Structure 1
Amino acid sequence: MKPDAITFKQLRALRAVTKVGSLAGAARGFGQTTSTVHSQIKALETALGLAVFDRRAGGEALKLTREGAEMLRAAHRIDSNLSQAVATIQAYNTGKNGRITLAVVSTGKYFGPRLVRMLADIHPEIDIRLKVANRSDTVMGIERSEFDLVIMGRPPRTELGNARPVGPHPHGIIVPPDHPLATHPGYDPDMLLSNTFIMREPGSGTRSVAERFLERFGQGVPRRMIEMDSNETIKQAVMAGLGIAMLSQHTVADEIKTGRLVLLQGVGLPVMRHWYLVEPNGPLASEVARTAAESIIDFNGSFLP
């Protein structure tokens, strides 16, 4: 194995071939010949002493080997680190001390802009970029070193040592104001499960909370379920009478206040979780990232709805 022989061009070719599934497709994307891309992949495999693609699949799309998948992850991390370095240098040139990317999961869009404003007020010397993504994309971004700081409700196991709580995160069941469950406190589990539940997509932190709550009632599976991929769409669906849902109470604060939605009352509600600040780079974080992180902790959740 000769790691010193690995080049950016080889890693770029690896990413391109993985994305389109063929050498020819990657070559078209680069405006190069297939043989040129093949040479880059072959040089990478020679440097590693291992194959990065499984070529036994015949005419099917090329698939990464285990070693190739590891190199792809490294390629993404390298690309992210270079991009962040360039962005930080550009921030220096505009009079800033540096730039950070703060990521929040989808539910965080209800407080992310407020948090960025609070940070900007006390740290005008830091250029802060906000990224909003679903949990799966956020976790992938952490793995690729795309973010300096992340706020999420359920940190990945690999980041538990780099996570600190920053505030409460209550979840509740929302119903339209004319729904039978909205007229009195408490609920009958059978009646609850007889409703159509509108759920987030698999892998969503909000869906995980809802599923664990429903597991309390035997099978815990509603008779009817509709899947939607955004909190806003779910809120509109509940108000339209298509079903009921469990969402972060931070996403429905305005609708509850104006009476367009009602929070179900009863045992086990709200389900109390926490927001966490994840510092993916841990002790290797930049000085400006550490500064922003400590300020977020000091805010003590005051940026939450």
Structure 2
Amino acid sequence: MNRLDHITLRQLRALRLIAEKGTISGAAQAMGLTGPAVHSQLKTLEDAVGATLVFREGRSRTTLTPQGAELVRAEAQLRATLDRAFRVIDALDRGQTGCVVLGAVSTAKYLAPRLVALLDAEFPDIEVVLKVANRAETIAGLGRGEFDLCIMGRPPREPLTDARPLADHPHVLIAAPDHPLAGRDAVCAAEMAGERFILRESGSGTRLLAERYLAGLDLPVAVRHLEMDSNETIKQSVMNGLGIAFISAHTVLYEVANGQIAVLRAAGTPVMRKWYLLRPLDAPASAAAERAADWICGNAGRAFPGLEALPFR
């Protein structure tokens, strides 16, 4: 028996919603069906797969079995593949030759729109869709096949990707313009020891780099610090004098140029990393994605300013 002949998208959606809601009744409500109808969908799917996909915990809680979890992962990849196909179909209907979904980590959102505008001008026959998320969400999206291309810093170990370096990615320490350390010719580690650091949340790429930087100065993260989940909140905190922050220089170009934020001439900075363009290796790239990738790698300097664009105050 070919199991694919007996599996439907509706059944897979029911399984995913059971996992998300934790109960069959919750999935039924989300689907606009009755509980018995969803239970029937689940039973038919289990019969087709030949495995138990969920088990009950207590009186009502439902949890996926390992087989069920694997099928939910496959459903996510299938949805992503169909979504990309529909985007390409829509682009073809508009007379374009294809669609490229470009993912970007949140730090790259200050640069990615410029890149999309350049791509639109260079390739009017290709629709470019930009999706911005944090690093963890972006890596998960790569694994689900949601992106044709992706911009981030350090490439992940999984999923496997073709990672092509784009440009330098400098990281600096920033403070309010009236901070005592602002405007100094040099700031040593000892002078930073008593400062409150404003850091990104644990797990973010910037946070990992900040921890390595502070460890290199023998300044552990255990020093006084605040934790923020966005670069915008960090910048506002710095401008309001709450502390100093380790941040991507590309996120503060506007504020530095307008005198709202000062870049400190701190020991060990700027910390240089790279921006990369990633392409998933688990599926062949479309012709449109290949064209866009080659152009991005050859013209990254037009969208990714170097450190010389960052004036010191």
Listed one character per residue, the Cα deviations across residues 85-139 of structure 1 (whole Å, up to 9, x for unaligned) are: 1111111111100111111111111111110111111111001111111112111
Post-superposition Cα deviations, 1:46-83, rounded to whole Å, max 9, x if no partner, equal 2333222232x213632222222221111011011111
Query: Which deviates further from its counterpart, 181-190 or 138-147?
Result: 181-190
Contact 2:100 2:127 in 1 (8 A): yes
Shift of 1:215: 1.2
What is the alpha-carbon distance in structure 2 between the residues aligned to residue 133 and residue 251 of structure 1?
Answer: 15
Root-mean-square deviation (Å): 1.8
Kept in 1, the 8 Å contact 2:172–2:247? The answer is yes
The number of residues matched between the two structures is 304
In the alignment, which residue of structure 1 is the partner of 2:196? Answer: 196
1:282, CA displacement in angstroms? 5.8
Q: Indicate if the aligned counterparts of 2:101 and 2:130 stay in contact, CA closer than 8 A.
A: yes
What is the alpha-carbon distance in structure 2 between the residues aligned to residue 192 and residue 52 of structure 1?
54
Following the alignment from structure 1 to structure 2, what is the Cα–Cα distance between the partners of residues 83 and 161?
A: 21
Kindly provide the amino acid, as one letter, of the partner of residue 243 in structure 1.
Answer: G
Aligned to 2:206: 206
- SS at 2:67's partner residue? helix
Q: CA deviation at 1:281?
A: 4.5
Counterpart CA distance in 2 for 1:99 and 1:161 is 20
Instruction: Give 5+ residue unaligned stretches, structure 2.
Output: 306-313
- Name the counterpart of 2:309: none
| Native 8 Å contact 1:149 1:277 kept in 2 | yes
CA distance in 1, matches of 2:177, 2:32: 59
CA distance in 1, matches of 2:204, 2:256: 23
Query: Match of 1:127?
Result: 127
- Counterpart code for 1:227: E
Q: State the shift of 1:222 in Å.
A: 4.5
1:147-166 to 2 correspondences below 5 Å = 147-159=147-159, 161-166=161-166
Hey, what's the Cα distance between the residues in 1 that align with 2:160 and 2:46? 35
Cα 1:283/1:144, change in 2 over 3 Å: closer
- Please list, as runs of the form range in 1=range in 2, the aligned pairs for 1:21-170 lying within 5 A after superposition: 21-55=22-56, 57-59=57-59, 61-159=61-159, 161-170=161-170
- Structure 2: how far apart are the matches of 1:230 and 1:175? 16
Determine the C-alpha separation between the residues in 1 that align with 2:198 and 2:163.
30
* Stretch moving more, 190-199 or 76-85: 190-199
Give me the whole-angstrom Cα distance separating, in 1, the residues matched to 2:54 and 2:32: 22
Aligned residue in 1 for 2:308: none
Name the SS of the counterpart of 1:150 in structure 2: strand
Whether 1:221 aligns to 2:209 is: no
CA distance in 2, matches of 1:224, 1:59: 46
User: CA offset at residue 301 of structure 1?
Assistant: 2.8
Whole-angstrom CA distance in 1 between matches of 2:220 and 2:226: 15
> 14-23 or 60-69, which moves further after superposition?
60-69
Bigger drift between 251-260 and 287-296 goes to 251-260
Q: Which residue of 1 is the match for residue 231 of structure 2? A: 231
Shift of 1:219: 5.6
Q: Tell me, yes or no, if the aligned pair for 1:195 and 1:222 is still in contact at 8 Å.
A: no
Q: Is the 8 A contact 1:194 1:222 kept in 2?
A: no
Quote the residue 1:290 is aligned against.
Answer: 290
**Residue deviations 1:123-171 (CA, integer Å, cap 9, x gap):** 1100111111111211121111111111011221124541111111000
Q: Deviations over 1:214-259 (max 9, x none)?
A: 1113361242211111111111110110111011000011222222
Give the Cα separation in 1 of the matches to 2:131 and 2:303: 17
Q: 1:189 to 1:226 in 2, by over 3 A?
A: same
Check whether the contact 1:197–1:222 (CA below 8 A) recurs between aligned residues: no
What fraction of aligned residue pairs are identical, expressed as a percent? 47
Distance 1:226 1:61, change over 3 A: farther
Shift in Å at residue 213 of structure 1? 0.7
Query: What is the alpha-carbon distance in structure 2 between the residues aligned to residue 215 and residue 52 of structure 1?
Result: 46
Distance (whole Å) between structure 1 residues aligned to residue 96 and residue 162 of structure 2: 26
Query: CA separation in 2, counterparts of 1:54 and 1:174?
Result: 52
| Rounded Cα–Cα distance in structure 2 between residues aligned with 1:277 and 1:77 | 21
One-letter identity of the residue aligned with 1:142: L
Structure 1, gaps ≥5 residues long? none
TM-score by length of structure 2 reads 0.91
TM-score scaled by length of structure 1: 0.94
Contact 2:148 2:280 in 1 (8 A): yes
The whole-number CA distance in structure 2 between the counterparts of 1:265 and 1:76 is 46
